[in-house]
């Protein structure tokens, strides 16, 4: 039934497109990474009221800003390369309960949601409660960016932001709020979720130490582009290092000129 909803299916198509990029980029080994997209505005009233496909799943904390909201969420253990081919066989549409304390899977198949759902929903909840029109949380495992998080001096928001911004002007423009850092936490935990939402006060992209990257935004293509641009900067940095020299990086003045030129 939801397959007849053209707007929803177009958004699901964009999710599949990005899932394919994550795989071809080499950022999605096995089941690495996960995606959630708020599709509430794309659903008809009838679709929003679809019956649950099984028992409700309790949430670790109440999502008071998400009551009744509907998300497409990739499934736990599912591979991005297959999400790209068939998003409804490797993810599901979930509806947060009216009291925000649980969720139901409502379409198309009862595929259990990603283990990172606590972080994803807490991020959606936090951003909505701040009035930010956030629809997307994208988590992935880019080799080059994770590499930086294995080096203590780079586990510093200002330092890593400055290095990556200064590799190429686009990085300053496309990731204007820089990078937040979350020290290592066990994947899928509430502690990881809580540490992550703290970083969203200032940033739209967060690095999880020795694990991966998260981007939030209004549009899944833009979330992908932000991570892709950071990855490009990381590759320039490492390529220079491998060639045996320290990359000079853009100067403070050159970076500041971009702020003026692009109204950042």
Instruction: Answer for the pair 231, 141: CB distance below 8 angstroms, yes or no.
Output: no
Work out the burial of residue 230: count CB atoms within 10 Å of its CB; fewer than 13 is exposed, 13-18 middle, 19 or more buried: buried
Nearest CA among 128, 134, 127, 58 for reference residue 96: 58
**Position among 76, 143, 189, 235 found at the interface with ligand 13P (CB under 6 A):** 76
Binding site for Zn ion (CB under 5 A): 212
Partner residues linked to 59 by β-bridges: none
The least CB distance from residue 48 to ligand 13P, in Å, is 25
Work out the burial of residue 238: count CB atoms within 10 Å of its CB; fewer than 13 is exposed, 13-18 middle, 19 or more buried: middle
The least CB distance from residue 211 to ligand 13P, in Å, is 6
Residue 26 as a binder of ligand 13P (CB under 6 A): the answer is no
Q: What H or E segment, with its residue span, contains residue 144?
A: helix 143-148
Cα–Cα distance between 206 and 192 in angstroms, integer? 12
**Site track 114-153 with ligand 13P (rule: CB under 6 A), x = hit:** xxx-------------------------------------
Per CB under 6 A, contacts with ligand 13P among 33-52 are: 33-34
Count of residues touching ligand 13P (by CB under 6 A):
10
The least CB distance from residue 178 to Zn ion, in Å, is 21
Q: Residue 2 carries which DSSP code?
A: G
Active-site position among 11, 116, 185, 209: 116
**Position among 13, 26, 54, 77 found at the interface with ligand 13P (CB under 6 A):** 77
Cα–Cα distance between 166 and 173 in angstroms, integer? 11
Instruction: Answer for the pair 74, 68: CB distance below 8 angstroms, yes or no.
Output: no
Our answer to whether residue 116 is catalytic in this structure is yes
**Site track 222-261 with ligand 13P (rule: CB under 6 A), x = hit:** ----------------------------------------
**Site track 174-213 with ligand 13P (rule: CB under 6 A), x = hit:** -------------x--------------------------
Q: Closer CB to ligand 13P, residue 179 or residue 250?
A: 179
The least CB distance from residue 193 to Zn ion, in Å, is 13
Of 28-36, 96-104, 127-135, 160-168, the segment contacting ligand 13P by CB under 6 A is 28-36
Instruction: Answer for the pair 162, 156: CB distance below 8 angstroms, yes or no.
Output: no
The least CB distance from residue 239 to ligand 13P, in Å, is 26
Helix (H, G, I), strand (E, B) or coil at 214: strand
What is the token pair recorded at 38?
């708020």
Instruction: Answer for the pair 125, 137: CB distance below 8 angstroms, yes or no.
Output: no
Q: Angle CA(115)–CA(105)–CA(73) in degrees, nearest 5? A: 45
Q: Closer CB to ligand 13P, residue 114 or residue 199?
A: 114
The catalytic residue positions are 116
Contact residues for ligand 13P (CB under 6 A)? 31-34, 76-77, 114-116, 187
């Amino acid at each position: 039934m939801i397959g007849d909803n053209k707007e929803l299916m177009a958004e699901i198509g964009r999710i599949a497109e990005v899932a394919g990029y994550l795989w071809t980029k080499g950022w999605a080994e096995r089941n690495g990474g996960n995606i959630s997209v708020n599709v509430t505005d794309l659903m008809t009233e009838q679709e929003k009221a679809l019956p649950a496909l099984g028992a409700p799943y309790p949430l670790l904390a109440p999502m008071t800003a998400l009551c009744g909201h509907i998300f497409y969420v990739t499934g736990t253990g599912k591979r991005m390369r297959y999400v790209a081919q068939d998003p409804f066989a490797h993810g599901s549409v979930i509806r947060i309960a009216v009291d925000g304390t649980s969720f139901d899977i409502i379409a198309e198949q009862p595929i259990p949601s990603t283990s990172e759902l606590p972080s994803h929903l807490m991020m959606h909840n936090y951003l909505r409660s701040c009035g930010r029109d956030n629809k997307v949380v994208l988590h992935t495992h880019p080799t080059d960016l994770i590499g930086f998080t294995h080096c203590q001096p780079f586990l510093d928001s200002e330092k890593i932001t400055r290095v990556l911004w200064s590799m190429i002007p686009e990085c300053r423009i496309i990731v204007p709020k820089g990078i937040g850092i979350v020290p290592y936490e066990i994947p899928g935990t509430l502690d990881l979720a809580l540490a992550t939402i703290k970083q969203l006060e200032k940033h739209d992209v967060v690095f999880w130490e020795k694990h991966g990257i998260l981007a939030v935004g209004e549009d899944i293509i833009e979330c992908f582009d932000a991570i892709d641009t950071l990855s490009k900067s990381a590759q320039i940095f490492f390529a220079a290092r491998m060639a045996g020299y320290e990359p000079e990086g853009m100067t403070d003045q050159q970076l500041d000129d971009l702020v003026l030129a692009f109204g950042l």
